[in-house]
Amino acid sequence: MAEQVNNSQEIRVAVIGAGMAGKAHAAGYLTAPATYDSTLPKIRLVSMADANAELAESTAARFGFERFDTSWQAIAEADDIDVVSVVVANFLHREIVEALLASGKHVLCEKPLSDNIEDAQAMIRAAEDAESKGVIARIGLTYRRSPAVAHIRDLVLSGELGKVLHFSGHYWTDYGSNPMAPISWRYKGPNGSGALADVGSHLTYLAEFVAGSDFSEVRGGQLSTVITQRPKPLGAVVGHEGGAVSDEFEPVENDDVASFSGNFAGGGTATIQVTRISQGHPNTLGFELFCEKGSVFFDFRKPGEFHIFTPATSSDASQEAGYRTVTLGPNHPYWRAGLAMDAPGVGIGQNEGFVFQARSFLEEVAGISEADSLPRCATLEEGLHNMQLIDAISQSAAENGSTVAVPVQNAARVNA
């Protein structure tokens, strides 16, 4: 565990990567001290780093960082930084995370953990060595911080809904629906970050989270690339943004659409579909969970509510069967004191998840007891498990939908 930071000291923060998700991390650190009780040391925002100097400078100014840097090496070498979020392309994670841990900095890495299993395993070895010296490394699985999702999980674990029978989920996005959108790292490499690894990684860890059980096997894997080439950009590509393109094209090397079925180790099945070419769905994540004693439906487009069905106790009421809507409020996870206005019906969304995540990570760095704080962030072992699950789905697809076993986690801490 990390050595406790005295509350009279500062926790000095940097973010590597000033794109879309990097801004979310920056905003999370900015807001975290004003969330929940004021038990944290002073949080000092030191540096925002990005190879794009203009982007690094503007993002640093926007979120109140003291300076900006144009290389991750500058962050690793700095002696005035304690905590670093790594929010860059997946294939860069290993080198950066290992260097940061070696320099004694606590690291919060974006998912997926890496772009290949071997590098992920090496990162875990580096994290284990660092933790023996009081330095921690965690991965951000932000959607687990959704109050509705966390509450649905509680309903399952408490037994209120009974045994899980089936999870049906989809994550439809449209950032790749324009065939003239420029090629970027997201479209390169078999596991670089196709729809399965990019948005599917979110939905798969959510399925396991709400079901309270890991996948034991997957089958029926299908990966499809429907836009087979994209134009080369004339400038830098930031996040999912477009930009000017050339007349030269490069092949797309990973999937636009992915789907699979699977079994949970604790019982029950799942069917999942993800896309990046679903026009009209910029960010549509939804799932329905069917259990012995009822069902639950959640749509992230309306994150302040969920829908629950429990069978009527009288057969005469069968004509009245249907879902009822639950509006989230202070009696649900993360809500009370987690929002400035923590009354029922107050809006919430994905941005708040990054605040809860940052708060949790900072509390662990500060040595605040978990019993008195938010659930911890996920371990790198959980990030590896998610990659192994994605790899198993890819293997199923390569083998015409065959059934593929998913490795059991060695150090599961699915508690966020």
314-325 pLDDT per residue, tens:
565 555 678 999
Pick the CATH number of 10-142 from 1.10.1060.10, 3.40.50.720, 3.30.70.1350, 3.40.50.10880: 3.40.50.720
Read off the DSSP letter of residue 91.
G
pLDDT digits (tens, 9 = 90+) for 327-341: 999 999 999 999 999
Which residue's entry shows tokens 């509680």? 154
Q: What's the pLDDT at 4? A: 47
At the fourth CATH level, which superfamily is domain 147-348+377-405? Dihydrodipicolinate Reductase; domain 2 (3.30.360.10)
Q: Mean of the pLDDT values across residues 69-78? A: 98
Q: How far apart are CA 294 and CA 280, in angstroms?
A: 31
Helix and strand tally (H, E) in the chain? 10, 18
Q: Where are the domains of the chain?
A: 10-142, 147-348+377-405
Model confidence at 372, pLDDT cuts 50, 70, 90, reads: confident
Q: What is the pLDDT of residue 320?
A: 64
Query: In this predicted model, which residue has the larger pLDDT, 380 or 39?
Result: 380
| Residue 178, SS3 per DSSP | coil
Task: Provide the 10 A C-beta neighbour count for residue 387.
Answer: 24
Residue 102 has pLDDT above 70, yes or no: yes
218-227, 236-245, 344-353 — which one is most confidently predicted on average?
Answer: 218-227
Spatial contact of 101 and 130, defined as CB atoms under 8 Å apart: yes
What does the pLDDT look like over 173-214, one tens digit per residue? 999 999 999 998 889 876 446 999 999 999 999 999 999 999
Kindly state the average pLDDT of the residues 17-45: 95
- Nearest-angstrom CA–CA distance, 229 and 253: 9
Cis peptide before 112 (omega within 30 of 0): yes
Higher pLDDT among residues 6 and 193, named by residue: 193
Per-residue pLDDT at 165 exceeds 50: yes
**Confidence at 389, pLDDT banded by 50, 70, 90:** very high
The model's pTM? 0.91
Percent of the chain exceeding pLDDT 70 equals: 93
pLDDT for 1: 36
pLDDT of residue 86: 98
Both structure tokens of 128: 């284990």
pLDDT at 313: 67
Mean pLDDT across 147-176: 97
pLDDT at 161: 96
**Tokens, residue 331:** 């009696």
Element (H, E) at 362: helix 350-366
Q: Which of 55-64, 92-101, 140-149, 308-317 bottoms out in mean pLDDT, i.e. has the lowest?
A: 308-317
8 A C-beta contact, residue 107 and residue 138: yes
Q: pLDDT averaged over the chain? A: 92
pLDDT band at 412 (very low <50, low <70, confident <90, very high): very low
Tokens 């950009």 belong to which residue? 233
Which pLDDT value is given to residue 49?
98
Decide whether 10-142 matches 147-348+377-405 in CATH topology: no
Mean pLDDT of 361-368: 96
* Pairwise CA distance, residues 400 & 185, whole Å: 27
pLDDT in the model for residue 189: 79
